[in-house]
Structures are given as C-alpha cells and as structure tokens.
Amino acid sequence: MALHLQNGTNGDHKKHFEIAIVGGGIAGLTLAIALHRRSIPFAIYEQAPAFGEIGAGVSFSPNAVQAMMECHPGVYDAFERVCTRNLWPSKRKVWFDYVNGYGDTPEHKVTQETAFTISNDLGQNGVHRAHFLAELVKLVPSEVAHFGKKLQGITEQPDGMLQLSFDDGTSAEADAVIGCDGIKSRVRQSILGPDHPALVPSYTYKYAYRGLVPMEEAIKAIGEERAENACMRMGQDAHILTFPVNRGQILNIVAFRTTSEPWSDTTRLTKPARREELLEDFKGFNPTSLRLLELTKPELDIWAIFDLGENPVPTFHKGRVCISGDAAHATSPHHGAGAGFCIEDSAMMAELLAHDQVTSREHLEAVFATFDAERRERTQWLVQSSRRLGNCYEWRADGVGADFGKIEAEINERNGIIANIDMAKMCADAKQRLSKRLPLGLKG
C-alpha cells in the first residue's frame, strides 16, 4: 500500500517537492513545525502509535531559545508555557550552583556551600519532556502525521522518487528523506551501509539513575536553597544534578556514575535497579547527598549513557537522504544541550529548504550537502565536549582533577561555545553558501 503524502502547507506551490521526516521526537517535531511555517510540503512517519516522550526533565541553553524562535515563535511559546526556572528570583540566571557532594577531603570540607556558580542569560529551566512534546504537537497539522510506521529501508525508484518501506508492509514516497529517528537511526544505516562502525552507538561508561520527588520532601532533606534551585553535586567518579520541574512541585534528580564494566545488553538502554544499588554506588558521597538520593523510589531505572562519540558519523547525507538530531550526533547529556542542538538542526534545515532558489528535487542534494557542512563540526564537537565535562564534574578530567577553579573555567569556556551564537546569522550565512552550491546541485 502506498501512503499518499499530504502537503502540510497552506497551499503555496513554490516548492515542487515533498520531504519525508522519519521520527517524531524533538528533532522531528521541531523540523515539521519549521517546515510547515515555511510552506514546505512534508509528511512525518513515526514508529510509535502516537507522539510521545519517555523520561523526565530536559533543559535548554540560550542558543536553543534562538533556534526555537527561528523554527517558529510557537516553539518558544510552547517551551515558556511548560518550563520551570529556578524558584528564587536571585537565581534566575543561574545554570547550576556547583557544590562538593563528596565526603570531606582535606581540600574541600564544606558540604552544601556553593563552590562556584555557572550562569547564563536563560538560567536553568526544566521542562517535562512529555509536556513539551504535547505543546509542540499542537503546531503540527494532524493530517501530515502517520503513526505505527517503523522505517525498514529506503530505495530509489526508476522515476527518482524515494520509496520508504515500513515494517507493517506499507510504503510511502518522497523526493527526499530526513531521518530524525534517534541514536539507533535506521536512516543513518541507509546512508552509511549496513556494516559501518558509526552505526553502533558507543557506551560512555557512565550510567544514570533518574528520579522525580515531591518538592516538600526534597526541602526537608536538603533545604530550600538547594531543592528550589539547580544544583550540581560533584564527586569522585560520580555526580548528581537536580533542578525543579512541574512549576516547582517536583525535584528532578539525575545521578551519574562512571564504571569500568561494559553495558550488558546493548539492545536496551535502560535496566531496572533498586535504590540500594544507587546508595551503594554513591557511598563515598556526603550525608546531604545521600539524604537526597534516599528520596528516590525503591524501584528505579538505570539509563546507560550512549553517544556517537567513538565513531563519529563521517557524513550527514547521501544524495537526497539526510540525518538530523540524535540520529546524526547523539551526545551524552553533560552539557544539557543535545535537544537544543536538535532544534538548531531543525532551524538550519528549514531555512536551507526555504531558500528561494530551492524549488525542485534537483536542488535537495545541495541543501543536504550544505546542512552537512554547516552542522557536522559544531554538533560533533558537542559530543566530545560533553564527555569531557562529565569527567570534569567527576574529577576525572586530565589536567583538571578536583581543582574547582579549573573545572569552572572549563565549563564557562565550553558553555560559551554553545550559547554565544547568532542563529539567524548562522542560517543566513549558510544560505549564502548554499547559493554557491546550487548550480552544482543542478548538474548533479
């Protein structure tokens, strides 16, 4: 059965092509919204029966806000509707207060006092993933979304159309495919071939316990200042981050641990665990940190932290097939910037496709080549930088160790690269470079 591709536009016919987006997470949905706003025809194919997100909180940095605005101001409005900032007005620009969460050491004795503070214009802001996605979905016309469509493969037809085949036996056609299908991307396989090392996500030898606890209980355990505002507890080989979500009613806890053991089952990114294991993993931490961890539920999940850092993807596109978001550059979460970079991708891709001279299928390869050239270096830098930062928090980074001054300097320098961008200019510059590529695209 061939699915008819709906034109997700308001009837503007300048674009004589149709895009298939595979995957409806943050990358796929923000791209869909950005294309819809620009009257670029598309359809979206999601394997799940509905749009949805698992997991707890996600937060954004100032670059992500710029990217949201570039995609569609409605994306930013959606974020504002559901985000929770630090509760204290004096901490509105604080990203995290860093404290020594570990046992008393000769160098670092104090347990809950701020070692240093990292700030930015936006401050800390947490959204519940499911709530954010529910707001984004409102901006996507329902007729362009197709559910229960798990992509199996992409083949080019004699007439040049790309055929997407799904595991329910159905298929669809498009002029180009953008894979927003996450870290295990099938579209990445279609670009790189079945045996490429970059198909396999790499275990970062870190895992995380995640918990959501009522704010009242958190305040009793760690006091108002630490419970109501974002805090990073550093320690040897592990760290704990907390920030308020759900309008301050809930505290989001993520406790990371480094291990030398490989992850047992690479087909699954989570496994069940018990609170005793968490407490055992953090036994070197100080009493306040442990009081916090004791608030988690007795039955927990451990999340393995995988990324695409060991074998970075050598290209984001082949012909008229491209990858975006985690499919292209999944990162560990230590910068809290992975989703923000997905939104940057969406803004850039939408702006390139909106280029006046991009009107037909023949131009799409040049669009994807430009996307690859503009996005690969920045996004793959994030993957490596995030690994480095995770090690800084855990006193494991070469040349830094437990020197708080050096840790602070590294964070500020690296966060600056993430946050201090001009998204509109990045897109405008990229469009100019696309203009130079377009004649080649026409020949090719």
Ligand X SMILES: Cc1cc2nc3c(=O)[nH]c(=O)nc-3n(C[C@H](O)[C@H](O)[C@H](O)COP(=O)(O)OP(=O)(O)OC[C@H]3O[C@@H](n4cnc5c(N)ncnc54)[C@H](O)[C@@H]3O)c2cc1C
Q: How far apart are the two ends of the chain, measured CA to CA in Å?
A: 31
Which one of residues 20, 151, 255, 321 is an interface residue with ligand X (CB under 6 A)?
151
Using CB under 6 A as the binding rule, whether residue 344 contacts ligand X is answered as: no
Q: C-alpha distances in angstroms, 28 versus 46, 240, 318, 326, 375?
A: 9, 30, 19, 10, 16
Q: C-alpha distances in angstroms, 391 versus 112, 122, 172, 235?
A: 21, 25, 44, 10
Which one of residues 38, 150, 433, 437 is an interface residue with ligand X (CB under 6 A)?
150
Which one of residues 40, 180, 191, 231 is an interface residue with ligand X (CB under 6 A)?
180
Q: Quick one: which segment of 34-42, 82-90, 174-182, 218-226 binds ligand X (CB under 6 A)?
A: 174-182
Site for ligand X in 25-54 (CB under 6 A): 25-28, 45-48
* Least spacing, CB of residue 399 vs ligand X, in Å: 26
Active site residues: 210
Using CB under 6 A as the binding rule, whether residue 389 contacts ligand X is answered as: no
Rounded Cα distance, 334 and 346, in Å: 22
CB-closest chain residue to ligand X? 25
Using CB under 6 A as the binding rule, whether residue 355 contacts ligand X is answered as: no
Using CB under 6 A as the binding rule, whether residue 123 contacts ligand X is answered as: no
Rounded Cα distance, 148 and 394, in Å: 41
Site for ligand X in 283-312 (CB under 6 A): 303
Distant-in-sequence, close-in-space partners of 372: CB < 8 Å, separation ≥ 6: 315, 316, 317, 322
Residue type, 321: V
Using CB under 6 A as the binding rule, whether residue 101 contacts ligand X is answered as: no
Site for ligand X in 356-385 (CB under 6 A): none
Site string for ligand X, 57-76 (x = CB under 6 A): -xxx----------------
Using CB under 6 A as the binding rule, whether residue 154 contacts ligand X is answered as: no
**Total residues interacting with ligand X, rule: CB under 6 A:** 33
CA atoms in the 13 A half-sphere facing the CB of 243? 27
Using CB under 6 A as the binding rule, whether residue 353 contacts ligand X is answered as: no
Which one of residues 211, 340, 390, 441 is an interface residue with ligand X (CB under 6 A)?
340
Rounded Cα distance, 293 and 282, in Å: 9
DSSP SS3 for 346? helix
Other Cβ atoms within 10 Å of 131 Cβ, number? 17
* Least spacing, CB of residue 246 vs ligand X, in Å: 15
Rounded Cα distance, 208 and 278, in Å: 9
Which one of residues 36, 85, 186, 233 is an interface residue with ligand X (CB under 6 A)?
186
Q: Quick one: which segment of 180-188, 272-280, 367-375, 408-416 binds ligand X (CB under 6 A)?
A: 180-188
CB distance 185 to 179 below 8 Å: yes
CB distance 180 to 21 below 8 Å: yes
Which residues form the interface with ligand X (CB under 6 A)?
22-28, 45-48, 58-60, 149-151, 180-182, 186, 208, 303, 325-327, 333, 336-340, 342
